[in-house]
């Protein structure tokens, strides 16, 4: 199907040219999120500014195309949004990926639409959600400081 090809292209583009990828030597190893079933690992840094906007999201990771593409797309989609909205999006995305939310919603979330096909594959869902759990952790870490 043409749509699947398009989504595949978007995933591969983000995998080959990840947005907001960086070396994060200052992020402790204890903050690394891993998906052992696939070998994906991600650490992530989120900076919230004085206005409560998530002004920067950077990630360092290795793993399969879906885990890296999901991280890359997530940073693009959520950067610049208020913390409360980012948290809400994380919750909603995780719900959708568990098959509990309205997957049609992903169509309104830019390139995230390309992850719709993943929902039918529970093993790949762990790849797609890894970065989102990492962002959740990074935001909580930031608030604790």
Nearer to Zn ion by Cβ, of 67 and 129: the residue is: 67
CA quadruple 30, 75, 41, 121: dihedral sign:
positive
38 forms part of the interface with Zn ion (CB under 5 A): yes
134 forms part of the interface with Zn ion (CB under 5 A): no
For residue 84, give both structure tokens.
């409360």
40 forms part of the interface with Zn ion (CB under 5 A): yes
Do the Cβ atoms of 31 and 45 come closer than 8 Å? no
Strands 40-48 and 33-35, bridge-based pairing: antiparallel
For residue 112, give both structure tokens.
């995230």
Contact window for Zn ion (CB under 5 A) among 45-53, 62-70, 88-96, 112-120: 62-70
Nearer to Zn ion by Cβ, of 46 and 69: the residue is: 69
Q: Smallest gap, in angstroms, from Cβ of residue 46 to Zn ion?
A: 22
């Amino acid at each position: 199907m043409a749509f699947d090809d398009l989504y595949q292209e978007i995933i591969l583009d983000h995998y080959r040219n990840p947005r907001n990828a960086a070396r994060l030597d200052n992020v402790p190893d204890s903050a690394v999120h891993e998906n052992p079933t696939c070998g994906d690992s991600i650490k992530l840094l989120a900076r919230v500014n004085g206005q409560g906007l998530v002004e920067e999201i950077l990630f360092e990771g290795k793993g399969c195309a879906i885990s890296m593409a999901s991280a890359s797309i997530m940073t693009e989609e959520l950067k610049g949004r208020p913390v409360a909205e980012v948290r809400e999006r994380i919750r909603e995305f995780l719900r959708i990926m568990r098959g509990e939310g309205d997957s049609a919603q992903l169509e309104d979330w830019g390139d995230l639409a390309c992850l719709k096909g993943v929902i039918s594959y529970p093993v790949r869902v762990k790849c797609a959600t890894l970065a989102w759990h990492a962002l959740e952790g990074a935001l909580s870490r930031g608030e604790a400081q």
